[in-house]
Amino acid sequence: MNSPLLLVGLALLLPYLAGCAPLGTPPTLKIQVDPNSLSFAIPEGRRGGDPRRDNTASSIGALTGFQTVSLFNESEPGDADIIVRLKPGAFNWTIQTIDARNHRLLTTGLASPFNFNKDIAKHLTAEFGAQTELYKRLMAAKSGGRPAAATAAAPAAAPAPPAAPAFRSDVEDPSFRLPEDEHKFAVVVGVENYQSIPKAEHAARDVRSVKAHLLAAGYPERNIVSLIDQQAGKSALEKYLEAWLPRNTDERSTVLFFFSGHGAPDPEKGDAYLMPWDADAKYTESTGYPVKRLYAKLNALKARRVLVAMDACFSGAGPRSVIGKGLRPLVSKVDDGGGSAGRVGALTASASDEMTGSDEASGHGLFTYHLLKALNARGGKATFKELFDTLSPKVRDAARRDNRDQTPQLVGDGRSTL
């Protein structure tokens, strides 16, 4: 063949060969690893196509501002601190974050296939933002328990931020383990950092510990919806309580709803509301989630057993209740919705005219702390009446030592077991 023609043929053929040739395993996304922040290993190609062309890690890095690397082999996360694991489900993807050092599960969440990267980014931001307790704990472990060295851009004389409280209690890790039961479902909600109303101390910590105990009690990971802070907007509560639960449960199911955060009274009618992340205390009726509606939706389920536990109060005062500035209830007693409980068995943190407090040493709501203590004492097998009989005197005594009254309530059917 004529040499010029051969060269022309090769020039035309090379791009085709390059496009069809097998690609080697690509390197992870090149970043400068900053020892003073966390980095995340994020899997690529989870929705089909060539996994090396999805750019999931870089997209989520751009959305969050976090350090991200592409993950192709979970056993080789490189220098990343957190492994992000993505599992497809019937309607959504499950997000799991794993500590790369000890391979312990840290958080779980959900991602819609329609907002895949944005939902993952939202979960990582909510769970690992610089002000979260989890971020501070992981950074302390990363630096060997010492404060991270100041970056070059930081002023040399800047004072170190106050250390986060090192909460640790005897209810962090369940003392029991029951067989998994595919018929158990739960929606667990903790709103600590609200969009526009005051903080509800320890609510996020409450829901993480409750979820750990539900896993130990046999609730499958895939059957637990965990909503923390901005994940727990009003639309999310409506979606999972009013659509997800009815779609996924049947006559064999046990259903638990847990809420830790603010409650509120309607100033005019006196009805009780749970306050989602985006609630406005001045517009409780339109932005809160009515407790009566909660009971009505749960009663409508086909489930065999339905249980509710709420670490909130509805008096409009105290660390777990809010009311719009300048507003006062126009009724003498708030209706906490107990008359609408029907077949639902419910445990609430206090009477409707009382304040709900915290156990500061453990970093939990007082009610949640003693609820988990009672569950551990009974090896994860107990009726709500048995749990109530165990926790109620403990909560009342602790509140009296704090110079106030807090009287947990048992509403509806207390015979159902967790």
Instruction: Work out the pLDDT band at 54, boundaries 50, 70, 90.
Output: low
Q: Tell me the pLDDT band of 400, cut-offs 50, 70 and 90.
A: very high
Of residues 49 and 301, more confidently modeled = 301
Q: Which of 150-154, 172-176, 223-227, 308-312 has the lowest mean pLDDT?
A: 150-154
Per-residue tokens: 161: 């931020």
Give the pLDDT mean for 162-168: 56
Rg (CA), the chain: 25
Instruction: Give 1's DSSP letter.
Output: -
Distance, CA of 225 to CA of 376 (rounded, Å): 22
Query: Does the pLDDT value for residue 262 go beyond 50?
Result: yes
Predicted local confidence at residue 11, as pLDDT: 46
Lowest mean pLDDT among 1-10, 98-107, 303-312: 1-10
Question: Which residue has better confidence, 156 or 254?
Answer: 254
Query: What CATH number was assigned to the domain covering residues 184-412?
Result: 3.40.50.1460
Q: Give the tokens for residue 372.
A: 């988990």
Residue 299 has pLDDT above 50, yes or no: yes
- In this model, does residue 367 exceed pLDDT 60? yes
* Residue 190 backbone dihedrals phi, psi, to 5 degrees: -135, 115
Beta strand 184-190 with 272-274: parallel, antiparallel or unpaired?
unpaired
- CATH 3.90.105 describes domain 39-137: no
Cα(288)–Cα(280) distance, integer angstroms: 8
54 and 44 in contact (C-beta within 8 Å)?
yes
What pLDDT, on the 0 to 100 scale, is given for residue 277?
A: 96
CA distances from 193 to 161, 233, 278, 350, 363 (A): 19, 12, 10, 22, 15
Averaged confidence pLDDT in the chain: 81
Query: pLDDT tens across 84-95, in order?
Result: 988 887 677 888
Per DSSP, the residues of 286-324 read HHSEEHHHHHHHHHTS--SEEEEEEE---SS-STTB---
> 71 pairs with which residues across the strands?
43
Q: Is the pLDDT of residue 333 over 60?
A: no
Work out the average pLDDT over 326-331: 46
Residues 96-105 as b/e (b if ≥16 CB within 10 A, e otherwise) read ebbebeeeee
Higher pLDDT, 248 or 316: 248
Pair type for strands 67-71 and 39-43: parallel
Judged against a pLDDT cut of 50, whether residue 25 lies above it is answered with no
Inter-residue contact 379 to 176 (CB < 8 Å): yes
Higher per-residue pLDDT: 306 or 129: 306
- For 151-155, 322-326, 348-352, 356-360, which range has the lowest pLDDT when averaged over its residues? 151-155
Map out the domains of the chain as residue ranges.
39-137, 184-412
Q: What's the number of CA atoms in the CB half-sphere (13 Å) around residue 111?
A: 25
Least confident of 30-44, 60-74, 83-97, 226-240: 30-44
Domains 39-137 and 184-412 share a fold: no
What is the per-residue pLDDT across 55-90, written as a single tens digit (0 to 9) for each?
Answer: 778 788 888 888 888 887 777 777 788 999 888 876
At 314, the pLDDT band (50, 70, 90 cuts) reads confident
At residue 343, the pLDDT reads 92
